[in-house]
Structure 1
Amino acid sequence: MILLRFENSAHAPEHTVGGFMPTHEGTDFESMVQAFSTSYGAFGAKPLGRERGFGWAVELRRSGAFTAVHSTYQSPWEVRTLDETPQHLAFYIPRTGSLQFTVGKRAVEGRAGHLLMGNNHEIGNRCLQGGPHRSDALLLDWKIIRRMLVSLLEAPVFETLDLEPVVDLATPSGQLIGNLVMTIVQGMRNNGPLMSSPLAVAAMSETLADLVLRCAPHRLSGHLERKKVSTVAPWHVRRAIDYMYARITEPFTISMVADDVGVSLRALQMGFRDFKGTSPGAYLRAIRLKAAHDQLRDPLNLQSVREICTRWGFFHPGRFAVVYRNAFGESPSDTRSRAAASL
């Protein structure tokens, strides 16, 4: 197994802890949970040791779709995902001690030099073992993964990905993913250069998402291989997609998209045809259909089916129902009924 190499922390500034400059630190478990909850979002946690004290230090940096967490803990503890926890693809890099979690019935463990990953809403509780435990984590907003997947498949996707949690660093693709993750982690550590380069962060987030979906084994790998997806789309197609997502609930025409991007309508249509295998209009319809489906699956959403379809640009409920059934195999009211029954 090829292991990740880490920079020599002996060259770190004297005021750092474990090679990083803490943004939060303390001596009790409750203060750590509060710091993470305030800075990132709600989650569940419990200490696993019997020690009365709980020494910890964390550097938490956020830039664009990335959150980088560099941390050291004097005692083991467990973290669990709640329904309200922000969804992300997590890359875990243990440096001392170990990280353990489950994926279905499979137990996974990583130690120094290993790289683990997973959707935090699909994997089990994470146990950070060791005294001390030191690790890095890179969290990528799941919206980037979902958007990239829709872009690659040209259709709404509702299955779980079931990503392989162990990145095989003995393979060229595993090494590429590992090297990019470490580059981002190091670029954000100690308020590094990536913290002041939003364009680089945006490009790296899309690149990392694309690499994971194309190279890491998951439930849809075979589907992607069969589709023989194209290379990354050119700038004008990517800008058009960004425009669509930014104004997804607003009324606009494809001509308006082309004008905003700065290309002709024909050039935009050809770009989508060549690199996405569909038209701009069909692409927009697919992402709006996915958004409507997400709202209908939410049991706490009290809007009517008509209100939801109108919100996402489908102004004829009958036609919406036909398109929806073709995409998801059930009517909008069936989806709403199943969501209500889950409460």
Structure 2
Amino acid sequence: MKTTPTGLTFEPTKDAKAMNKIVRTREYGRDPEKLAAIISSSTSRFAVERVSDGFSFDCQVVTTGPLTFVQAAYEGEIWNRRQAAGDKLVLLFPQSGGATIHMNEQDLVSAPSQITIVDSAYNKGMSICGPRSHLTAVLSFAELQTRLSNLFGIPVKRDMGFHPEIDISTGPGLLLKQLANLLNEGLRDESLLQKSPMALTNLVDGFLNHLLFSVPHAYSKKLHTEVNANPRHVKRAIEFMRSHISQPITLEQIVAASGAGMRALQLGFRQFQSATPMGYLRNLRLEAVQAELASNPATTSVSDVATKWGFAQMGRFAADYHARFGELPSQTLRNRRQ
């Protein structure tokens, strides 16, 4: 039985729209061909061989943006044989039972104590001896390459050399598992997560960024040594903000000055500044106001200074100022006079 795919979209940006389109499918039963169909893609085909009697399966697949999750349960023994080299990175989160992932040079045993990370270009398939259940996360190398390229400012090769086994009980592996479970459960049926597109986008970004920053791979050392303060596009954006701090600049102008796309810039600011680009600009302007109120003897009006540095709504400005500095702007001015 297969359900009809459903979709969910919203309109803020083209990137957000693509990220939040959700497609779900489900297949279950005893037919190996149906199992092969649901775990295959246009670029990666499988053939399923039933090894023993009593075989059955239940697979639920959900896709959003660059991520696909497959929640699978099996009974009996089967061989999933890959028909051609794949182009995806596969993360296997075991829940019960055992399986063996067959690679070109070695076999990897998938057990509930660890996440298995597989480059499908070197994978020959998987043998399963049920009962077995696992959650699989599938993502494109192109997405990871784009994220790393945006951080480094240079092209990144596809072969990333992720460590194949990660302890699932503590540290990075445990958090990766928790994020995968949260996303998988939140994308099924009509959950609250689907009614909050920004929360969904942030969770997907969090999952992918945690994978890149916390799981060992060929670019880990470069990532943690060269991308120390800000990647180049974030630096260019900040330089543009500082040069135009008192002018009414827009997010689109900041993006253009950075030389990156909207999504890459927002991702860079979240990762390295814990703020949005416009939030960072607001903080720069607040600091300029605070410095002038605290040090300029000619200053007599809070509203004049706030307007000079680009604040038009005095109530919102006062609240933001208090949240950042722990006092109202009038108090800063009063303290200087004293």
Q: TM-score range by the shorter chain?
A: 0.5 to 0.7
How far is the alpha carbon of 1:231 from its aligned partner?
6.1
Provide the TM-score with structure 1 as the length reference: 0.56
Q: What do residues 2-51 of structure 1 show as CA deviations (whole Å, max 9, x unaligned)? A: xxxxxxxxxxxxxxxxxxx982112211122234447x764122325133
Match of 1:262?
Answer: 252
How far is the alpha carbon of 1:160 from its aligned partner?
0.9
Match of 2:34?
Answer: 31
Amino acid at match of 2:33: E
Aligned ranges for residues 207-226 of structure 1 at < 5 Å?
A: 207-226=206-225
Tell me: CA distance 1:71–1:171, structure 2 relative to 1, closer, same or farther (3 Å): closer
Q: Quick check: 155-164 or 220-229, which moved more? A: 220-229
Q: Secondary structure at 1:96's aligned position in 2?
A: strand
Aligned ranges for residues 295-334 of structure 1 at < 5 Å?
A: none
Match of 2:70?
Answer: 69
Q: Secondary structure at 2:73's aligned position in 1?
A: strand
How far is the alpha carbon of 1:58 from its aligned partner?
1.3
How many angstroms apart in 1 are the aligned matches of 2:202 and 2:128? 34
Amino acid at match of 1:116: T
How far is the alpha carbon of 1:264 from its aligned partner?
4.8
Q: What do residues 149-197 of structure 1 show as CA deviations (whole Å, max 9, x unaligned)? A: 1122221122511101212235522322222122212222445444454
Q: Does 1:93 align with 2:122?
A: no
Amino acid at match of 1:262: E
Amino acid at match of 2:48: K
Tell me: CA distance 1:140–1:193, structure 2 relative to 1, closer, same or farther (3 Å): farther
Match of 1:181?
Answer: 180
The answer (yes or no) to whether the contact 1:97–1:112 under 8 Å persists in 2 is yes
Aligned ranges for residues 41-52 of structure 1 at < 5 Å?
A: 42-47=44-49, 49-51=51-53
Segments of 5+ residues of structure 1 without an aligned counterpart are 1-20, 238-258, 277-343
- Structure with greater strand share of residues: 2
Tell me: CA distance 1:23–1:165, structure 2 relative to 1, closer, same or farther (3 Å): same
How many angstroms apart in 2 are the aligned matches of 1:107 and 1:100? 7
The answer (yes or no) to whether the contact 1:99–1:126 under 8 Å persists in 2 is no
Match of 1:137?
Answer: 136
Q: Percent identity?
A: 18
The answer (yes or no) to whether the contact 1:91–1:117 under 8 Å persists in 2 is yes
The answer (yes or no) to whether the contact 2:114–2:169 under 8 Å persists in 1 is no
Amino acid at match of 2:47: A
**Rg bigger for which structure?**
2
Aligned ranges for residues 195-274 of structure 1 at < 5 Å?
A: 195-230=194-229, 261-264=251-254, 268=258
The two structures, once aligned, show a CA RMSD in angstroms of 3.6
How many angstroms apart in 2 are the aligned matches of 1:119 and 1:99? 17
How far is the alpha carbon of 1:127 from its aligned partner?
1.9
Tell me: CA distance 1:82–1:219, structure 2 relative to 1, closer, same or farther (3 Å): farther
Match of 1:280?
Answer: none
How many angstroms apart in 1 are the aligned matches of 2:69 and 2:256? 41
Provide the TM-score with structure 2 as the length reference: 0.56
Tell me: CA distance 1:191–1:49, structure 2 relative to 1, closer, same or farther (3 Å): farther
How many angstroms apart in 2 are the aligned matches of 1:190 and 1:128? 30
The answer (yes or no) to whether the contact 2:25–2:62 under 8 Å persists in 1 is no
